[in-house]
A = this chain, B = another copy of it.
């Protein structure tokens, strides 16, 4: 079969990305296969290389989509959550990872080849997610704080991330930790309290 017109380039990209995302959610990064993605989309391997340049390009796009869903998830958590917006964020972080462990893990398991760097689109979506947290952290700190709020917020994200990655990888289960989310939230609260949180809701 030669050239087709079943899909426009944009449609084809969306199709492969969708199937890729679906497969990643099913089998995770370790079981991911470019050939299978193409087959499910009704195409063959080579097409992935036409559209995404490389398999790493497809995986990066898949992870970018996961990031976008994650940001959306956090915004929902903030909207539907109560007054304690910090708790909503931490809970949202955990919930997403636990709802989509394969997708969430794939973000951190994918390593680009040496020298290669992420595309601008990917960086933008990550900045979006951290931006949501930065805004909420800023709201809760005194206006005259001496902290670099952005750095502080990202450090809190890293702390929560550590807890979450232990949960998803199973390390915490082995350590008999009954409430990882609660621990993560407690650490965040302690740091916020140290810097004079405005409203402290138990």
Chain A positions within 8 Å of B, measured between CB atoms, are 28, 30, 108-109, 111, 118, 123, 126, 130, 151-152, 154-163, 165-166, 169, 171-172, 174-175, 177, 180, 183-184, 186-187, 190-191, 193-195
Question: Complex: how many Å from CA A46 to CA B191?
Answer: 53
Partner of A163, one of B130, B158, B184, B190: B158
Is B163 within 8 A of A155, CB to CB? yes
Tell me whether chain A's interface is mostly helix, strand or loop, or mixed: helix
Is B184 within 8 A of A194, CB to CB? no
Most buried by B among A109, A159, A183, A190: A159
| Contacts A/B (CB < 8 Å), 14 sampled | A130-B175, A151-B183, A154-B172, A155-B187, A158-B162, A158-B163, A158-B166, A158-B184, A165-B165, A187-B187, A187-B191, A190-B190, A191-B191, A193-B194
Contacts of A158 in B (CB 8 A): 159, 162-163, 165-166, 172, 180, 183-184
Question: Complex: how many Å from CA A157 to CA B184?
Answer: 11
Closest Cβ of chain B to A160, distance in Å, is 7
Closest residue of B by beta carbon distance from A105: B111
Contacts of A108 in B (CB 8 A): 165, 169
Is A175 within 8 A of B154, CB to CB? yes
Partner of A184, one of B28, B126, B155, B186: B155
